[in-house]
Structure 1
Amino acid sequence: MRAGTSSIEAPDLWAVLGLEPGADAGSLKRAFRQQARRWHPDLNGNDPVAEERFKAVNAAYAVLSDPARRAAWEQGLAGPEGAAAGLDPFATGFPAFEDYLDELFGRRRRSQRPTDGGWAGSDGPDAEEPDVAGQGYGESAAAQARTRPAAEASSGGPVTASAPAPPPVVAATDQETLVELSPEQALAGERVELELADGTAIEVWTPPLAGDGWRLRLAGVAPGGGDHFLQLRVRTPDGLRIDGLRVLYQLELAPADGALGCLAVVPTLQGPVQLRVPPGSSSGRLLRLRGRGLERGSERGDQLVEIRLVVPAELSEVEEALYGRLQQLAAEQQA
């Protein structure tokens, strides 16, 4: 990968990280981790703009996480490029993403010394050499393959450079998490925290008046730039499903009850009630219980009861004879 100088595509550093101005340190770090993973060149081998976007994210975090540089930028004493001057650590290649985060957030204390340039750590007797293939802050394998042959040629040695390995390409895969909410949480909106498979922490608020079966899309947070979906489940133990202010319930009846009509006990959020099912009710018919839904201010929803006729899996001899007779009558009427 060709390295160049840093550039910030947007003048608003907060916007580069997808944050509102003045976000706290924890939000800043989470946003940086998310955007850095999304645009790291090793994870976007087929995206020609990923390198510049990754540099912009790195430079924005370097300015906003440093009180002095951030103050200079906010007061207009330095533009984004000036505030981020000297903050391009990628002049000789890109480190592996996890090593980059380990070093930046202080999770790894290992000293590292580059072979042919790049970022150097301690030069003391305990300093370790960087791993092969660009691990740590030494040059990447591709950068070493470019620089070493030139050095050997100047000394008269043979040039035997091998072709650099192509960068890994991570396929974009969508992921999904089931989130269970109570009717009250779905009505007002709920704060949800989850940790993705790669360790990324996500915090999101569900929208007010959410319903059972809703899917919320978190764009670009899954590995390879895929989307992560939140599948909402808003149900009560007795089978009520919430959809905004409305409550939905499926009532199972025997075919005879649907044909002749009956009284059925139906659960509601306020307790069970008796519902009169009119004769000739087929599967799919909706009956309304007014005012039995959720309440928000002066608004109150209804409860819809869907009729579902269910035939027994096993019939007694008497039932089988009766169904047979009904079948004969239906055939005679159609003749």
Structure 2
Amino acid sequence: MSVSFKDYYQLLDVSKTASQDELSKAFKKMARKYHPDLNPDNPEAEKKFKEINEAYEVLKDPEKRKLYDSLGPNWQHGQNFQPPPGFDSSRFRSYSSGGPSGGPQFEGGFGGFSDFFETIFGGQFRGEQSYQGDPFGSGGFGPRQTKGRDVEVGMELPLEDAFTGGSRTISFQEQVMGPDGMPRMETKSLQVNIPAGIKNGSRIRLAGQGSPGMRGGPSGDLYLKIRVAPHPKFKLEGNSIIYDLPLTPWEAALGTKVRVPTLAGAVEMNIPAGTGSGRKLRLRGKGLGKGDQQGDQLIRVMIAVPEKPTDQERELWEQLARTSTFQPRHDG
């Protein structure tokens, strides 16, 4: 049988005389570069990762390395070769039992060792599919535990709920692994504490409620992005709440006291005489936010007139027009 030679020293970018410490450092550097978790959707990186794992498995073990180095003076040329006459691979098969003490096992679809490796050290690695160890730590090699992805979910709140805060329930679709090993969507419900005065566009972090980690790694975080729903009475401008207050012309001209709704309950408000349409009056601390960042409620005066005045009202308006000296337009 003829198989393609693999230059393990070249794969790890070390010399043939490299020490065990140099081999370990080289392997960790290469593993960081080509780890499949760090190179998703890159089959070339996955292939390279398999090759450097195989190279390190051989060169880190003195007996395996000695056998590999004995293959002949043409090891560096990468040509096909025949195993040495009388070669017996069975004495190396104790390494193929798998696990932390017996050698590597593969999982996650990365595949097993090459025909070259199996020709030299025995074929019992084929089909064994679980990794042990951490390529970036001191415990060997293989994929490490990976934290799950963070997830962002939109959450719409009525303006009243954003103002008062409190406990709310949110439900959303989450992808989970079913009993058959296939992914499926499930509805997940969580109780969420909404801070009082939360602003439109704010995010709430729920630690550990995101996507599950890989190989027993921690779950990611869930972020709730708050959207404050439109309100029939109030409008939002940053932290400020705008309320349009309709007034009659005489109320605006003479001044009055009116009852004004707010998110904290209705309040009595004095309207000063001579208040023009569009003027904004302020109720402090009635907006969103908290502490020094809490906004105000702005009362925007809107002068309203009757669409169909009575005959008497029309007569009074005409009398006012004849006697008033007020000129709102100064056209020169």
User: Do they fold alike, i.e. is TM over 0.5?
Assistant: no
TM-score (norm 2): 0.36
